[in-house]
Amino acid sequence: MPHYCVNCGAELVPREVEGRLLEGCPNDDFVLWRDPKVATAVVVEADGGVVLGRRAIEPALGHWCLPGGFVNDDEGPLEAAVRECLEEIGAEVEVTGLIGVYHIAKREAPSMVGVGYRARVVDGGRLAPGKEMLELQVFALDDLPDLAFPSHRQILSDFVRSQASRAEAEPPPAGAGARRASRPSPARARSTQRRTR
Ligand SMILES: [Zn+2]
């Protein structure tokens, strides 16, 4: 299928750029780059679990997924993540960390760079499904449904793994059944561990 220049409308011709055979304009410097699209997905922590939505749109209508979506040209990935959460789960979130950055290969479409964040609902925030979601539900980490997209599965499983290693890093309670006035500080927790190992 022929492609055309976005500047002058001329039909593009093969052009070698940095060792790659691409299509370029015969009249100006326009090159049809095959760039990945950037998307975010957010693991939102709430009530001891994570918030998932069941999709009201294709692809994967009726399946569970993380809130998230494409990054617009005029925003950063962090802003996009917060915006998508507001649109899809109706709540303002605070991003609390990066889970990872993922390459999502596609055959029939541009590949994607997926940015997985962890977040929490801002105090007082209420969850309400946006128009792209049939319903929302908070799932416990040991009772997660299958997700619609492999990238979301990967991000959620990386999140669960990081939670597990965090829990492992926490010191055991100071005596089973003993009343704890406060959690030990991270510094104390570390030095306690060092002594006991
Ligand atoms: Zn042109």
pLDDT score recorded for residue 172 = 64
The answer to whether position 188 is within a domain reads no
- What CATH number should be reported for the domain holding residue 105? 3.90.79.10
Same domain, 57 and 4: no
CA distance 92 to 79: 11
Number of domains in the chain: 2
Mean pLDDT by 10 residues, the chain (197 residues): 96 95 96 94 95 96 97 98 97 97 92 97 91 96 95 97 87 55 45 40
The answer to whether position 109 is within a domain reads yes
Same domain, 7 and 50: no
The answer to whether position 195 is within a domain reads no
pLDDT score recorded for residue 175 = 54
> DSSP states of the chain as a string?
---B-TTT-PBPEEEEETTEEEEE-SSSS-EE--PPEEEEEEEEEETTEEEEEEESSSSSTT-EE-SEEEPPTTS-HHHHHHHHHHHHHSS-EEEEEEEEEEEE--SSS--EEEEEEEEEEPTT------TTEEEEEEE-TTSPPPBSSHHHHHHHHHHHHHHHHHHHHSPPPSSTT---SSPPPHHHHHHHHHHH-
Beta bridge partners of residue 23, listed in sequence order: 14, 32
Which residue range is the domain that position 3 belongs to? Answer: 1-33
Choose among 52, 24, 47: nearest CA to 152: 52
Same domain, 54 and 84: yes
Same domain, 121 and 28: no
Using an 8 Å Cβ cutoff, are 115 and 107 in contact? Answer: no
The answer to whether position 8 is within a domain reads yes
pLDDT score recorded for residue 174 = 59
Same domain, 151 and 60: yes
Same domain, 126 and 113: yes
Q: How far apart are the first and last CA of the chain?
A: 66
The answer to whether position 172 is within a domain reads no
Could you tell me the distance, in angstroms and rounded to a whole number, from the CA of residue 174 to the centre of ligand 1?
Answer: 71
pLDDT score recorded for residue 127 = 95
pLDDT score recorded for residue 195 = 41
Same domain, 99 and 67: yes
Tokens of 137: 């539900």
Same domain, 87 and 122: yes
pLDDT score recorded for residue 108 = 85
Same domain, 47 and 77: yes
Same domain, 27 and 45: no
Identify residue 61 by its one-letter amino acid code: L
Could you tell me the distance, in angstroms and rounded to a whole number, from the CA of residue 1 to the centre of ligand 1?
Answer: 17
Could you tell me the distance, in angstroms and rounded to a whole number, from the CA of residue 11 to the centre of ligand 1?
Answer: 8
Same domain, 15 and 110: no
Could you tell me the distance, in angstroms and rounded to a whole number, from the CA of residue 140 to the centre of ligand 1?
Answer: 54
The answer to whether position 183 is within a domain reads no
Same domain, 111 and 90: yes
Could you tell me the distance, in angstroms and rounded to a whole number, from the CA of residue 31 to the centre of ligand 1?
Answer: 9
- The pTM of the full predicted model, rounded to 2 decimals, is 0.80
The answer to whether position 13 is within a domain reads yes
